[in-house]
Structure 1
């Protein structure tokens, strides 16, 4: 398994919720990121997902454009995820689908050991983990340096955290759900007990996994 596999699965889950099963997409659990100008670009908005979609949304080429991960690496990620059972074909559409229960279990119990997050230098970037909009007001203390993904146009000063993939900004630029899932995963990767508990509970809600 590679860390990019998690990014691909989150993107597939986001596409599934927004385009295939829009009744599962609950924007009220998310913060309207466009109000924060979090990427230094006023392009991200929460919108009602369209019922119109095509299978091409889940093609290797489309996933490359959505994630910034090359087509060959997307193909390898999908192959690995199907082999270990973290992805499967949807019974109705035949499109790739994330095994959300298995994915949540891996994040909750394994990701901090397989892909730990190490905090680095103070720089500017995009909020992640406890500083991300999805956890806004829940965990950050006054004066505490925010964990961030280093980004040249970032508006926030904080402590650098290595993201799961170097092109993560492509995956989250216009995808509030994918951003939330990745930021919550970072809260688990960093490994502090209280943050992990809250993040896992939020992940369960966003991934629509019943307790």
Structure 2
């Protein structure tokens, strides 16, 4: 398992939620007419190479975080397993630590869609380092280096990755709130 596997699976969840399937098995086209669920489409949407996307999907299938669709043969996220792994195991497998002050994109509870859910005691915000970012805060390494660019193309992916960082960085209360929010969005509970 590699950290980019989580990014790829969350992107697939986001694509499913955005209704990338038009119905009757017809697919909408993404960048340059590409199927967004294809390896090439995922590469253009996430910034992760085709080779790594392919390897990631294989790892996710073998670990049970994804299941193969009988009709299309493509890997689909197993939402329940993915949720359980994110909430209970991710911070141990891919721990996050706040680093030096830098410019970038807000994450965790500093992300725009999560701001105001939790009142902090004057701490610095957490950010993913990104040269074009407008916010200053403590740096947090994203799950994959291309995350700052990928989240600018997809607000759902941004919310999911911010929640993942809140779980990775937060204390028990913060992680619990992020897990509850993830459950509401992810599992529709």
Q: Find the residue that maps to 1:58 and give its secondary structure.
A: coil
- The residue number in structure 2 matching 1:30 is none
Of 120, 134, 138, which aligns to 2:99?
A: 120
For structure 1, list consecutive stretches of 5 or more residues without a partner in the other structure. 23-50
Question: 1:157: how far off?
Answer: 1.0
For 2:144 and 2:21, the matched residues in 1 are separated by 27
User: RMSD between aligned alpha carbons?
Assistant: 1.9
Question: 1:209: how far off?
Answer: 4.9
- The residue number in structure 1 matching 2:115 is 136
For 1:207 and 1:7, the matched residues in 2 are separated by 14
- Once the two structures are superposed, what CA deviation does each residue of 1:89-136 show, in whole Å capped at 9, x if it has no partner? 234544321111101100111011000001100111110011112211
For 2:120 and 2:188, the matched residues in 1 are separated by 30
Question: 1:167: how far off?
Answer: 0.6
Tell me if 1:12 matches 2:12: yes
**CA contact 2:128–2:141 (8 Å) conserved in 1:** yes
- The residue number in structure 2 matching 1:188 is 167
Question: 1:53: how far off?
Answer: 1.3
For structure 2, list consecutive stretches of 5 or more residues without a partner in the other structure. none
- Once the two structures are superposed, what CA deviation does each residue of 1:48-67 show, in whole Å capped at 9, x if it has no partner? xxx96158221111100010
For 2:136 and 2:96, the matched residues in 1 are separated by 18
Of the structure 1 ranges 143-152 and 76-85, higher mean CA displacement relative to structure 2 is found in 143-152
- The residue number in structure 2 matching 1:166 is 145
Tell me if 1:88 matches 2:67: yes
Q: 1:21/1:57 Cα in 2 relative to 1: closer, same or farther (>3 Å)?
A: closer
- The count of aligned residue pairs is 182
TM-score under structure 2 length normalisation: 0.89
**CA contact 1:123–1:158 (8 Å) conserved in 2:** yes
